[in-house]
Amino acid sequence: MATLIRYVRDLFNLPGVIRNLVRHRELIRVMTWRNFSARYRGSFGGLFWSVFQPMVMMVIYTVVFSLFLKVRFSTDASPFTFAVYLLCGLLPWQAFSEGVHTSAILIRANANLVKRVVFPLEILPVNLTLAAIIQQFIGMVLLVPLAWLVTGHLHVTLLFVPVILALQVLFSTGVNWIVASLAVYLPDMGPLISLVLTAWMFLTPIFYPEDVVPPQAIIIFRLNPMARLVNLYRNAFMIGLLPDLRDLLGTIGVCLLTFLVGYFWFMRLKKGFADVL
């Protein structure tokens, strides 16, 4: 009984988790920027690509879905509406899936750090999350003028986007902690994660509107944290609608619980990393 109480206390020790991460904030900042800038290191354009790449992606998706395929929600909708709808889901999904996929090889790729007792391995998945979020944030800044062209005005709910980003950071970091720690003990985690992410993507309303989902399957989207986050982004960018308080509290609860469980899981399993690697 005492052991169970200790586990529960450690699991929900949010202040302890925050203190640990704050203590290593400078290392997190340096490594996050290194991970982000490494994507474009060696190229002539350098960090210019961090802006140019999402800009080109938006142009391509807008032209293909709005002008070539002429995908619309209704007969009176703008041909560019679906492009904004798609990008509101695609940008966060790409950031999330990139972090999860890389987490499957993260610890093994940094096996030299595992032997260093003083190095806080738990910050590695945090760096992955933040580097992907930086790229997503750049894309969403570029999405603002497109949303303005489509809707005719900017919604004040765009000020709520940093809150959604914070929730996404909590959820993504928790998932990355779980995947990174499990991948040390399960060599087949990489291919398995690829399959899971593919299925998860199609169970998230990114390429299709949620209202086409049969009523008997809607529970899948209610239980899907990424579907909840994508819906929050779309409401902020396209509709100007603040989330229902009950739905928002539910999303906060899921993201925070995933964050805490992920940290607890990682810290428990990391004690055996050196033995396995």
Burial of 219 (0-12, 13-18, 19+ CB in 10 A): exposed
Q: Are 273 and 27 in contact (CB under 8 A)?
A: no
Give the chain's mean pLDDT: 85
Non-local (6+) Cβ contacts of 168 within 8 A are 92, 95, 96, 133, 229, 255
**C-alpha–C-alpha distance, residues 165 and 229, integer Å:** 9
Q: Give the pLDDT score at 24.
A: 92
Cβ pair 184, 273 in contact under 8 A:
yes
Tokens representing 29? 């900042």
Across 41-50, 78-87, 160-169, 241-250, least confident range? 41-50
- Does residue 10 surpass a pLDDT of 70? no
Quickly state the pLDDT bin for 176 (edges 50, 70, 90). Answer: very high
Residue-level pLDDT at 177: 97
% residues pLDDT > 90 (the chain): 47
88, 151 contact by CB (below 8 A)? no
Q: Is the pLDDT of residue 221 over 90?
A: no
Convert the pLDDT of each residue in 45-83 to its tens digit. 556 666 777 778 777 877 777 666 666 665 556 667 888
Residue 38 pLDDT more than 70?
Answer: yes
| pLDDT for position 7 | 58
- How much of the chain is in helix, strand and coil states, percent to nearest 5? 80, 0, 20
* pLDDT confidence of residue 175: 97
Residue type, 107: I
pLDDT-derived band at 91 (thresholds 50, 70, 90) equals very high
Predicted confidence at residue 45, as pLDDT, reads 56
- The more confident residue out of 176 and 245 is 176
> How far is it, in rounded angstroms, from Cα 256 to Cα 233?
18
End-to-end CA distance of the chain, in Å?
33
Can you tell me which residue has the tokens 């790449």? Answer: 53
What radius of gyration do the chain's Cα atoms show?
A: 20
